[in-house]
Amino acid sequence: MTQTNTLKLGDMPRPEHPRPILTRPEWLNLNGAWSFKADPDQIGQAQGWSTALPAPDVIMVPFAPGTQASGAPCPDGCLSVWYERIIPESPWRSEETLLHIGAADHTTTIWINGHQVAHHRGGYSPITTNIQPFLGATQNRIVIRVNDTTSWQQPRGKQAGDTRWPIDYDPIIGIWQTVWLEPVPAVRVTQVHYRFDLAEQCLTVITQLSKHSEAEIEIEVQQPNGQPLRVRGSAKGRSALTQTLQISMPRLWHPQDPYLYSVSIRLLTNEIETDRVESYTGLRSLSVADDQILLNGEPIYLRGVLDQGYFPEGWYTATTDNALKQDVELTLALGFNLARKHQKFEDPRYLYWADRLGLMVWSEMPSGRIFSETLMTDLTAEWIALIQRDQPHPCIVGWVPFNESWGLWHQSTRPEQRHFADAIYHLTKALDPTRPVITNDGWEYSTGDYWTLHLYDSTSATLQNRLASLTQNPAQSIHDGPNPRVGALAGADPSHLPLLLTECGGIGLVATSDIGPGDAFFYGDMPQDAEEFLTRTAALLDAINETPRLRGFVWTQLTDVQQEINGLLDFHRNPKVPLQVLRQLITHTGFGRVS
């Protein structure tokens, strides 16, 4: 967070539609200047701040307080912040007016004109509430309080909590995605999910409604030749309807051809249209056969990069939509076809650009680190909400609920922890049977559709020997150290599954004056210069390429972030060595075995 704040008070930050997978023509972006008050002593509730903030500062929403883009100070350790904005009388004559907050970290309470209308837990899942009954005739006051904790019982990813690892980053608090209003009917489309069957060449559309209804639902899909396909059916008193369209000669979504079909969904009552949303989908299938990963029935080698999703100026939030697009473009330009979004559920606009530009994505749940009923409850609820939000995006080719047993440290000796991980796997498959689930990425495999390992061995011999040994005996330790972890838990045998090296590399190089080598975190020894950095990167990629059992890898990592200096790019997205040289090395890895 070292760049100058380029946003000005009168600007509308992030003006684009925040939910491009499901849009209506009428909506109002509430980003921009809000009144703001940090509440480090947590006195606001007792003092009645829910009706008006006393002597507030100004903050630029949707940027978290304390970031340069927000323009608002936030004391270190502050765990309660307040927002206020006056909006005029609604210009719409709708049955309901929805207030949306893309995400706020961590517990959010909303008041409209002094009335509490919503309370939400979860720092990554979307918040939606109907505020129509509480709106006045002239002007209306929105007050929002967001509380956070430092507890590791909370899913918080790599945001530092009450203890800080060398890989943790500065935390955030408050609103960090777009705030917006949307006029809607009482019975409306709330979600749409897609499932494509390659063998049958049919697209299944599952439309979720806000209420049980007798409405007719009409789906229209635009084909590449311009001819629409339509299907229509009745909800028959239910809140969801599953409809199927036969699509002959489908144009399949693939990184080399990320074609998207436009989809319109209409609700009709007595032939009168009562709701209409615009969406899109990509037709593609994911499967496993003979330990190969198949995309559209053809083997594919996953060349992935670990992407933390932090940004100059905005920290958790990109200051512009173009910054999200550029991250996707840079990932593809480096030769990767996959981004593993690490310990952060990303802004839906990132997924939109990945859909359009052809970057595959693994979506990963931010972890807690203390197993408890609180962690189980909060993680499960938020995981469900995020899968429901993001299931329509064709770019997502894997769900990752856990990383390296974080929060599940004792799976081998405490059955309840292993049961929880296994249960989340099965829950995820129930919510979305179309995608692989990588239940516990890194080690201690129990259930999952791939076997994924994290190894930072830096030579061809050590990497290949370790992988060969683990393949023969998955129950052995994956690495040395005071807390060794096994490749697979007792009774689990992943040796028949696709094997991926999903964290590797981690080679550090100080590329700017932002940080000194003594403060830096990286794996192995520090290269002396860019030439040695490139030499070691090339050697490890060669070792990966010479390991035919692997079906892909994920390189650590895309960019530097704070003390972590193991990015291929620095924090400002400048390549540490020539991009084309890196691209040649990365695209060569796995080439010739599969597409």
* Residue 68 and residue 42 share a domain: yes
What local confidence, expressed as pLDDT, does residue 522 receive? 86
Given 281, 308, 337, which residue is the final one in a domain?
A: 281
* Residue 85 and residue 179 share a domain: yes
What local confidence, expressed as pLDDT, does residue 442 receive? 97
Query: Residue 591 — pLDDT band, cuts 50, 70, 90?
Result: low
CA distances from 25 to 106, 279, 420 (A): 30, 12, 42
* Residue 165 and residue 203 share a domain: no
* CATH at 274: 2.60.40.10
Arithmetic mean of pLDDT, 505-513: 81
What are the pLDDT digits (tens) for 302-345? 999 999 999 999 999 999 999 999 999 999 999 999 999 999 99
Asked, for residue 486, whether it belongs to a domain, the answer is yes
Asked, for residue 576, whether it belongs to a domain, the answer is yes
* Residue 394 and residue 269 share a domain: no
Burial zone of 461 (CB within 10 Å; 0-12 exposed, 13-18 middle, 19+ buried):
exposed
* Residue 167 and residue 275 share a domain: no
Which secondary structure element, helix H or strand E, spans residue 191, and what is its range? strand 189-197
On the question of pLDDT at 592 being above 60, the answer is: no
Q: What are the structure tokens assigned to 105, written together?
A: 């970290």
Q: What are the structure tokens assigned to 554, written together?
A: 């994920």
Asked, for residue 439, whether it belongs to a domain, the answer is no
* Residue 270 and residue 368 share a domain: no
Asked, for residue 11, whether it belongs to a domain, the answer is no
What local confidence, expressed as pLDDT, does residue 515 receive? 60
Asked, for residue 14, whether it belongs to a domain, the answer is no
* Residue 380 and residue 252 share a domain: no
pTM: 0.96
Domain range holding 147? 28-183
Query: Residue 462 — pLDDT band, cuts 50, 70, 90?
Result: confident
In whole angstroms, give the CA distance from residue 102 to residue 523.
35
For 244, other C-beta atoms within 10 Å of its C-beta total: 15
* Residue 385 and residue 252 share a domain: no
Asked, for residue 173, whether it belongs to a domain, the answer is yes
Given 183, 211, 237, which residue is the final one in a domain?
A: 183
Number of domains in the chain: 3
Range 182-200 burial, b when 16+ CB lie within 10 A, else e: bbbbebbbbbbbbbbebee
Q: Which of 484, 499, 505, 495 is nearest to 548 (CA)?
A: 499
* Residue 490 and residue 346 share a domain: yes
In whole angstroms, give the CA distance from residue 17 to residue 65.
22
Burial zone of 124 (CB within 10 Å; 0-12 exposed, 13-18 middle, 19+ buried):
buried
Query: Residue 5 — pLDDT band, cuts 50, 70, 90?
Result: very low
Given 250, 281, 312, which residue is the final one in a domain?
A: 281
Average pLDDT, the chain: 94
* CATH at 547: 3.20.20.80
176, β-bridge pairs: none
What is the maximum span of the chain, computed from C-alpha positions, in angstroms?
74
CB 498 within 8 A of CB 451: yes
- Bond before 254 cis per omega within 30 degrees: no
Distance of CA 140 to the CA centre of its chain: 33
What local confidence, expressed as pLDDT, does residue 376 receive? 98
Interacting residues of 270 by C-beta distance below 8 A, sequence separation 6+:
none
Asked, for residue 293, whether it belongs to a domain, the answer is no
CB 29 within 8 A of CB 180: yes
Asked, for residue 429, whether it belongs to a domain, the answer is no
What local confidence, expressed as pLDDT, does residue 593 receive? 58
* Residue 58 and residue 99 share a domain: yes
* Residue 261 and residue 165 share a domain: no
* Residue 203 and residue 177 share a domain: no
